[in-house]
Structure 1
Amino acid sequence: MTEATQVTRDLACVAALLDGSDQAFRELVERCQPAMLRLANVYSPSGAVAEEIVQESWMAVLDGLASYQGQAQLRSWICSIVVNIARRYSARESRATPLATLAHAEGEGHDSSVAMDRFFPPGSEYAGHWRSLPSDWSERPETAALSQELRDVIYQAVETLPEAQRVVVVLRDLEGWAPDEVATVLQVTAGHQRVLLHRGRAKVRTAVEHYVGT
């Protein structure tokens, strides 16, 4: 489905919601709630706070439905509201830094958790890309038997990522969002989105390699 087609469907959904359709609201909750909760958890100190953020976000969504004009997918618009509310909660706890600032800080320089000689150096044609590829552990016969343990390792590794990297990895790899949609929701440039995703994935892959190797 193209983005234009999805936006057309979203506008029809909003029209049904404004007409008071309970079915349209149930379908929207089913579609968006998981991503909303994952996003809220990235910024929240606990599951209870994340749920509170999601509840407040739904209230803001319902209050602002009439302002939705199809400028982005409805899911993107809703998740932008979640991010803004989650950041406000974080600010109350004096833990918030604008994601654009985090993106710059986490997207520049090198991360000590990944051996940088595995990447092409800055200034080269393939700067930031793998020079030394990770080992291919997917074909190892014991991998299938350890699949649940591997998933646990992956989720734990994602949880330890810096906030900006974590939210990009969650949206791209766990939610399956497109790069442009992630950049729009998080209000970062396409380039920063790519860097954050690359560094986040590299750290997760390192954790998996270490687990499989041991």
Structure 2
Amino acid sequence: MLISLSSLNVPDTLKLDEPGLVRALQSGDDQVFAAVMNWYSGSLLRLAMSYVPSRAVAEEVVQETWMGVFEGIHRFESRSSFKTWLFRILTNRAKTRGIRESRYEPSGLSTASPDADEGPSLEESLFVAEGSRMGHWKDPPHDWEPDTPERVLLSKECRAAIKTAIENLPAMQRQVMTLRDIEGVSSEEVCNILEISETNQRVLLHRARTRVRRELNPYVHGKNT
């Protein structure tokens, strides 16, 4: 995998594949380490917030994660991708902190039980099938492409509604959706990061998308329809 560090506030001439990135980190390259922190911290924060009760605590978890990376990078053996390894460090620390803060419950895996009552499910036909746009709606919200003042306002409302809908998801659903649909992590990597089965991952993701879609129906079909 080619990682362009030009987008990480590193000189345009510096481009590394993953082995090169790991070697740079293991050699103590402060510039690369700072660039990687800049690139991934937002993603780590979004995931951490699904485990702990506040943004402040989530930020502390992210800081602890980077300390873990700094201390453990010399032991990284590339048995998984660097990204998977990084997110595993985050989830382990976030779980511990979440339990301490009485937010995260290990029994959260039960949310993937096929027998759980999640309310009426939405038709699979509402979503794009497997492929590069998997999980996207076939009929996107009308208000995401503003071209009038009214649509600008509705677009802001829609984005706020999406944020709220995701934040209100059960913890495991939020974690899976954050990784898959926001961070673009593959199904296999999500299973490795969260230590869940492919079946659990698939069920959790479907239920998360269903809940969010249900909350956004007014924007998908038009608020006045």
TM-score (norm 2): 0.76
Which one of the candidate residues 135, 150, 175 is aligned to 1:167?
A: 175
Contact 1:11/1:69 (<8 A) preserved: no
d(CA) in 1 for partners of 2:90, 2:143: 42
d(CA) in 1 for partners of 2:187, 2:160: 25
Q: Give the direction of change, closer, same or farther, for the CA distance of 1:158–1:139 in structure 2 (3 Å limit).
A: closer
Contact 2:50/2:174 (<8 A) preserved: yes
Contact 1:17/1:24 (<8 A) preserved: yes
Structure 1 residue 206 corresponds to structure 2 residue 206: no
Q: Give the direction of change, closer, same or farther, for the CA distance of 1:195–1:19 in structure 2 (3 Å limit).
A: same
Which one of the candidate residues 156, 160, 165 is aligned to 1:157?
A: 165
Partner of 1:89: 97
Partner of 1:59: 67
Q: Give the direction of change, closer, same or farther, for the CA distance of 1:73–1:31 in structure 2 (3 Å limit).
A: farther
d(CA) in 2 for partners of 1:187, 1:62: 23
Contact 2:166/2:174 (<8 A) preserved: yes
d(CA) in 1 for partners of 2:171, 2:35: 30
Give the 5 Å matches for 1:90-109: 90-98=98-106, 101-109=107-115
Instruction: Compare relative contact order (CA 8 Å, sep 6+) and give the higher one, 1 or 2.
Output: 1
CA-atom RMSD in angstroms: 2.5
Partner of 1:147: 155
d(CA) in 2 for partners of 1:53, 1:205: 30
d(CA) in 2 for partners of 1:93, 1:141: 38
Q: Percent identity?
A: 36
Show CA shifts across 1:151-188 (max 9, x none).
11111100110000001111111111111111110010
Q: Give the direction of change, closer, same or farther, for the CA distance of 1:139–1:86 in structure 2 (3 Å limit).
A: closer
Contact 1:103/1:164 (<8 A) preserved: yes
Contact 2:52/2:101 (<8 A) preserved: no
d(CA) in 2 for partners of 1:182, 1:63: 24
1:140 is displaced (CA, Å) by 4.6
Which segments of 5 or more consecutive residues in structure 2 lack a partner in the other structure? 3-15, 128-136
Partner of 2:140: 138
d(CA) in 1 for partners of 2:120, 2:71: 48
Aligned residue pairs, count:
194
Moved more, 195-204 or 145-154: 145-154
Q: Secondary structure at the match of 1:43?
A: coil
Partner of 2:79: 71
d(CA) in 2 for partners of 1:31, 1:45: 24
Partner of 2:192: 184
Q: Give the direction of change, closer, same or farther, for the CA distance of 1:142–1:168 in structure 2 (3 Å limit).
A: closer
Give the 5 Å matches for 1:33-48: 33-48=41-56
